[in-house]
Amino acid sequence: MTTAPEHYDRLLAAHYTWMLGSDIHAFARDQAELLRGLGVRPEADEDVAIDLGSGPGPQTLALAHLGFSPVTAVDLSRTLLDELAAHAETAGVAGAVRTVHADLLETLPHVAGSGTMAAIVCMGDTLTHLTSRDDVRSLLDSAACALRPGGHLVVTFRDLTGDLRGDDRFFPVRSTEDQLLTCFLEYVDDDTVMVHDLLHTRSDGQWRLQVGSYPKLRLASDWLSGETRRAGLQVRHAAAGPRGMRILHAIKPVGA
């Protein structure tokens, strides 16, 4: 079975910024407004943050624009991390950003000392790319350990627990004159859904089709909130967000 990182390297990484609307800086500004609205902002000049599954960097750039420094961006795609570094240069925040090419689950305990992080984000549906619910629990435990008292955890994800049927399983992701991405869902069991991507690109008047599939976890919003509380964090916000995502915002209690 193709893993999510393999699928991104083979098919999606080269087109990911296009999938987000092509203007990464505009998307980063939107993400900064989302985080600011949740109350995520630095309280001191050297407040540090980490972006788990950063991709090309919209959340990394958002955190840097909000004043966090440094912001550590962790991703398994070297292609996307290189793109992120270029975006940070363009945005004038390269000095506030560092990239780590590694697995986010294994890396967090090594790059974030206990009680040091002012903010940890895992956004853009990254959480559902983990391989099991136990991995999600482990990530939440590591995040709770790494956050300083009053520190923020922000997660966005798609709740895929409801079974869609027939044509409702098909989603147009984005289309432009020379590119079209569609995906459809195949339900495997209570924990897993297979995402099938169909990417059409046109060059010199000829259309080319690339296809690929990878598994995603089916995480219910209530389950994730409960596991976040089990890890010792206080859930401040759990609701529907933009682009079909769910948003979970939690903080580490002062004195914890």
Question: Do 143 and 26 share a structural domain?
Answer: yes
Domain range enclosing 212: 166-217
Cis previous bond, 70, omega within 30? yes
**Cα 255 to chain center, whole Å?**
29
Question: Do 175 and 130 share a structural domain?
Answer: no
Question: Do 85 and 61 share a structural domain?
Answer: yes
What CATH number is associated with residue 19? Answer: 3.40.50.150
Residue written as token pair 């979970």: 248
Q: What would the pLDDT profile of 199-237 be if each residue is shown by its tens digit? A: 999 999 999 999 999 999 999 999 999 999 999 999 999
Q: Say if 39 falls within a structural domain.
A: yes
Q: Say if 148 falls within a structural domain.
A: yes
C-alpha distance from residue 189 to each of 167, 217, 223 (Å): 19, 10, 17
Q: What is the mean pLDDT of the chain?
A: 94
Question: Do 148 and 45 share a structural domain?
Answer: yes
What CATH number is associated with residue 204? Answer: 2.20.25
Question: Do 122 and 45 share a structural domain?
Answer: yes
C-alpha distance from residue 247 to each of 72, 183, 225, 253 (Å): 21, 22, 10, 19
Question: Do 137 and 86 share a structural domain?
Answer: yes
pLDDT recorded at residue 113: 84
Question: Do 128 and 58 share a structural domain?
Answer: yes
pTM of this structure: 0.95
Question: Do 141 and 42 share a structural domain?
Answer: yes
pLDDT recorded at residue 106: 87
Q: Say if 112 falls within a structural domain.
A: yes
- Cβ neighbours of residue 168 closer than 8 Å, sequence gap 6 or more: none
Q: What would the pLDDT profile of 158-172 be if each residue is shown by its tens digit? A: 999 988 999 999 999
Q: What would the pLDDT profile of 55-76 be if each residue is shown by its tens digit? A: 999 999 999 999 999 999 999 9
- How many residues are recorded in the chain? 256
Q: Say if 256 falls within a structural domain.
A: no
